Amino acid sequence: MLAAAGCAGIGTPASPAGVLNIGQVQDVATWDTGQGHNGHRLVAFQTAYDTLIRREPDGTLVPMLATAWGYTDDTQTTLALTIREGVTFSDGEALDAEAVRASLEHFRTANGPQAVQTADVAEVRVTGPYRVEIELAQPNPALEFYLSQAAGMIASPAALGDPALDRTPVGSGPYVMDEARSVTGDRYVFRARDGYWDPSLQQWDEVVLKVLAEPTARINALVAGQVDGTQLLPRNTTQAENAGREIVNRDVNWAGLMLFDRDGAVAPELADVRVRQAINLAFDRQVAVDGLLGGYGTPTSHVFGEASTAFDPALDDYYGYDPQRARELLAEAGHPDGFTLSMPFSANTNDAIPFVVQPLADIGITVRAASVPGQAAQSEIGSARWPAAYFPIFQGPTWMAVEQMLVPQTLYNPFRSEDPRLDGILDRLRVAGPDAVDEAREMARYVTEQAWFAPWARMGNTYAFDGGKVRVEPQIGQVVPSIYNFHPAG
């Protein structure tokens, strides 16, 4: 059954107004959709690339390049999509079913940071000039969501495989890069694209993405009026408010430690669940919320947020603050004198160092904090060099969270940890579908009991903007709102 659509999603033509300046937390290393990423970089890709499906601010999935879609079988393994007609890419190539197939196949084989999104895709078939079928090897409850994210970005088939795509995006999106005025690593200038198929999504004459990796640089640029919107650390929000800037706060991420090395490849101590449980007991979570997050957060002991069917309020207090019991568990595990644990920190996570180091020192664990460049933070985490790390990550819908944190192929499971009991739960959850509650909560409880992570809080993420120039609609599940959510004030 195909979801409704036809011309849905095409609004009244807008008259773009002025220039929107956005402060980017991270640079875009490549504009190749095969290496496309979510998180902070998604808004950058949205300037030049349309996705098959678009997410409204409230998370509702609506048509974009796909005008209709739906599963054709009860096993939920064949998704059929009808592709929008009359769309062209910025290089003049036409969008059709073959162009969609080429982009999806490119994403599948590029081994990018979000490759897990298409790991279950067995085949992409063209069944008509504007019709595509995606055949899955097994059901994936998050597939439609993924088609609104990195996996759903469609590039011109003529640009795929061309090294020039690293430097210049070639999509069907609302804006086109002005190469002459763009400087790699510093700023990327985009102009509203003539003839774009949905002018209502073009709110600006130009969008300028300014790379500001340092938190201090972001707040200074915001206060000085050099950027109209950017993500801030909690410690910078008061300065922003004093300068008359507005703050959007959403519990998007969870904050705490990811205990990667569960088999003890680099840190043998972490192979013992008692050690991981001891680490959880070392933290006074309210202290972290108040001191590190500036009060923007809710203490919790589990990593699934309110957008997930795995969310279980009963798990919020699963691990209390009990350093004495933590020391006892370490002794039972054979480490009465503690041990040393190495972790990476960057400019965007350095504020967390005292909140990691001191509580663990109190139970006998010495943290060796290593400095890594902010631009390389995610790749470092995925390198299997570090047994643990502090790095806030997205709390998404259930199956997306599973594939982001738990399956062996994901960036945030760098040591490829597996657990037979967890695998069995996930197999049942996969078949049960995106609305399953019992299986999802069983998974959440088991992961919490096994202490795969040491979360502190559902983290309030702060995005600040100049309300005199721009109106920003928060995007559920995103720290940085989608490019379509930035509107001229008034």
**What domains can you pick out in the chain, each with its CATH number?**
19-215+466-488 (3.40.190.10), 254-460 (3.10.105.10)
**How high is the pLDDT of residue 203?**
94
SS (H, E, C) 380-419: HHCCCCCCEEECCEECCCHHHHHHHHCCCCCCCCCCCCCC
Q: Cα–chain-centroid distance for residue 187?
A: 22
**How high is the pLDDT of residue 394?**
84
* Greater pLDDT, 250 or 319: 319
Q: List the end-to-end C-alpha distance of the chain, in Å, as a whole number.
A: 41
Q: Which helix (H) or strand (E) holds 280?
A: helix 273-281
Residue 294 pLDDT greater than 50, yes or no: yes
The radius of gyration computed from the CA coordinates of the chain, to the nearest angstrom, equals: 23
Q: What is the pLDDT of residues 337-373, one digit of tens each?
A: 999 999 999 988 999 999 999 999 999 999 999 999 9
Residue 6 pLDDT greater than 80, yes or no: no
Residue 254 pLDDT greater than 50, yes or no: yes
d(CA 276, CA 233): 28
- Given a contact cutoff of 8 angstroms between Cβ atoms, the answer to whether 311 and 305 are in contact is yes
Residue with tokens 């996705």: 51
State the pLDDT confidence band at 235, using cuts at 50, 70 and 90: confident
Least trusted range by pLDDT, from 214-218, 269-273, 294-298, 424-428: 294-298
Which one, of 329, 309, 302, 314, lies nearest residue 449 by Cα? 302
Cα dihedral 264, 269, 273, 275 sign? negative
What is the Cβ-side half-sphere exposure of residue 137, based on CA atoms within 13 angstroms? 5
Q: What does 143-188 look like in DSSP terms, one character per residue?
A: HHHHTTSGGGB-B-TTTTT-GGGGTS--BSSSEEE-GGG-BTTTEE
Share of the chain above pLDDT 70, in %: 97
Which one, of 250, 207, 254, lies nearest residue 463 by Cα? 250
- Cα distances (angstroms) measured from residue 50 to each of 169, 278, 349, 353, 370: 11, 46, 31, 39, 38
State the pLDDT confidence band at 2, using cuts at 50, 70 and 90: low
- Given a contact cutoff of 8 angstroms between Cβ atoms, the answer to whether 67 and 84 are in contact is yes
- Cα distances (angstroms) measured from residue 132 to each of 51, 80, 100, 139: 14, 6, 8, 18
d(CA 411, CA 150): 14
d(CA 142, CA 180): 39
Q: In whole numbers, what is the pLDDT of the chain averaged over residues?
A: 93
- Please give the average per-residue pLDDT across 246-254, as a whole number: 85
**How high is the pLDDT of residue 3?**
54
Residue 13 pLDDT greater than 50, yes or no: no
**How high is the pLDDT of residue 411?**
86
Least trusted range by pLDDT, from 111-120, 152-161, 263-272, 353-362: 111-120
Residue 162 pLDDT greater than 50, yes or no: yes
State the pLDDT confidence band at 16, using cuts at 50, 70 and 90: low
- Please give the average per-residue pLDDT across 95-114, as a whole number: 95
**How high is the pLDDT of residue 66?**
98
Residue 14 pLDDT greater than 90, yes or no: no
**How high is the pLDDT of residue 237?**
92
**How high is the pLDDT of residue 5?**
45
- Given a contact cutoff of 8 angstroms between Cβ atoms, the answer to whether 169 and 48 are in contact is yes
Q: Cα–chain-centroid distance for residue 225?
A: 27
